[in-house]
């Protein structure tokens, strides 16, 4: 059985890779694979996993990400530029283009699915899938 930290790391890695692959599909090749991603990006994914474990959905996940970025000095910019700490997604969730909102939906669903697949039974990870009328959920600790 995986430890909580192993589950959290696996969820962050899976969500990061899902985001990277989605970005490639929409024409954004700027994301590095997990092992080559900068520390700040991996730390952000791990914080995002904590948020999903606490019950964040896509909108709340984005708002947490936005608050973290603001705290670290990031501002809005027309293109993502880590050196200038600028990002085009530095807006409220509702103002994001739909393709960018989809990244938050994919992040949350990937974390929930991975946590369930690994047998995570703690926290408040909500229902992650419905298959043939059966809801797959985790049990509170």
Assigned token pair, 122: 């703690």
DSSP structural state of residue 109:
H
pLDDT per residue over 61-99, tens digit each? 999 999 999 999 999 999 999 999 999 999 999 999 999
Give residue 71's pLDDT: 95
pTM for this model (two decimals): 0.83
Give residue 21's pLDDT: 98
- Beta strands (DSSP E) in the chain are 75-76, 86-87, 129-131, 134-136
Nearest to 20 by CA among 87, 128, 103: 103
- Secondary-structure percent of the chain, ordered helix, strand, coil, rounded to 5: 55, 10, 40
Alpha helices in 72-122 (DSSP H): 98-117
């Amino acid at each position: 059985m995986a430890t909580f930290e192993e589950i959290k790391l696996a969820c962050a890695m899976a969500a990061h890779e899902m985001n990277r692959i989605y970005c490639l599909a929409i024409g954004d090749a700027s994301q590095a694979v997990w092992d080559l991603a900068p520390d700040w990006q991996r730390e952000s994914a791990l914080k995002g996993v904590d948020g999903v474990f606490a019950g964040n959905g896509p909108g709340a996940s984005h708002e947490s990400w936005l608050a973290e970025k603001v705290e670290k000095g990031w501002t809005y910019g027309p293109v993502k530029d880590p050196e200038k700490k600028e990002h085009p997604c530095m807006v409220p969730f509702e103002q994001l283009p739909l393709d960018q909102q989809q990244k938050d939906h994919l992040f949350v669903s990937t974390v929930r699915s991975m946590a369930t697949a690994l047998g995570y039974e703690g926290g408040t990870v909500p229902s992650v899938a419905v298959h043939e009328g059966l809801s797959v959920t985790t049990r509170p600790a």
